[in-house]
Structure 1
Amino acid sequence: MSYTFTKEERLCSKRLIDGLFHNGSSFVLYPYRIVFLLANNQHDNDGPPAQCILSVSKKRFKRAVDRNFIKRRMREAYRLQKSSLYGFLHEHSVHLLVAFQYIGKEKLPSVQLHQRMGLVLDKLKDESSKVFLDLDS
């Protein structure tokens, strides 16, 4: 598995983003709030199994430099640990839309963001498997 974060893995479609926030499930694992949705229409099997968007609140971090700094660290933590999530999604052959929102009030060290991202991805697998069980029954 390649440790890259390509354009295809980013969630850019306004229609998909609106659907994610209106119909998606969410949970909080500080300093992240995660909103996810299992996409029914996986338009191509060659594409990535998950598309994500990362956001940092302008209300909490006024300066764009700070918001970009946190997003850069979040992206790096996700990029290095996404392989376990991708394996799980390939196994169940589903497509997942995910929004990672930073809800912390201060900038946390990279190590802590990295550890929490690992916990977030594990919980995301658990939460999405609950949805699979609900769909199968």
Structure 2
Amino acid sequence: MGTFTEHSAEEQPLSYRFPKEERLRSKKLIEQLFREGSSFNSYPLRFVALQVPGSAELPVQVLVSVSKRSFKKAVDRNRIKRQMREAYRLHKHTLSKANPEGGTWCIGILYIGKEKSPFNVISKKLNLGLERLLTK
């Protein structure tokens, strides 16, 4: 028989969920992100990040996008977006210590490649990009 261990209030287990609240949906914030945010590439991904001061009820909000120009078929775009969301979901715990002074990090992850990449490449590049965000 296995033993049951309880987690204290300070020691929360890692949550691998990606709820709707963590998705960047506000038009105002999206416009501000692309107007004022800093960006860098980790091919085939492009990261755009902006720290918005204010209440930190949500420390990180993420936007995932794939160009219709590069991938004409919605099936291809949706598959890449699904892979990017899954990779983010698995690696988002690296951002948990990124917000010591409050506010919200708005992050846009754009797929800029012209060909479909396998999940392991997307996952590795997304993890490298998130770690680079921490060093900025």
What TM-score do you get using the length of structure 2 for normalisation? Answer: 0.86
Where in structure 2 are there 5+ consecutive unaligned residues? 1-13
Alpha-carbon distance in 2 for matches of 1:81, 1:92: 22
What one-letter code is carried by the residue in structure 2 that aligns with 1:18?
E
**Which structure has the highest helix share of the two?**
1
C-alpha separation in 1, matches of 2:90 and 2:58: 15
Alignment partner of 1:34 out of 40, 43, 47: 47
- Give distance in 2, aligned partners of 1:12 and 1:94: 17
Structure 1 residue runs of 4 or more that deviate by more than 3 Å after TM superposition: 91-94
The offset of 1:8, in angstroms, is 0.8
Q: 2:53, 2:102 within 8 Å by CA — same for their partners in 1?
A: no
Whichever residue aligns with residue 96 of structure 1, its letter is W
Calculate percent identity across the aligned residue pairs. Answer: 47
Q: What is the root-mean-square deviation in Å for CA atoms of aligned residues?
A: 1.1
Q: Deviations over 1:67-120 (max 9, x none)?
A: 00000000000000010112232x343420010000011111111111111101
TM-score norm. by structure 1 comes to 0.85
Q: State the number of aligned residues.
A: 123
- Aligned residue among 68, 78, 83 for 1:73: 83
Look at both structures and tell me which one has the larger radius of gyration over its CA atoms.
2
Is 2:121 aligned against 1:112? yes
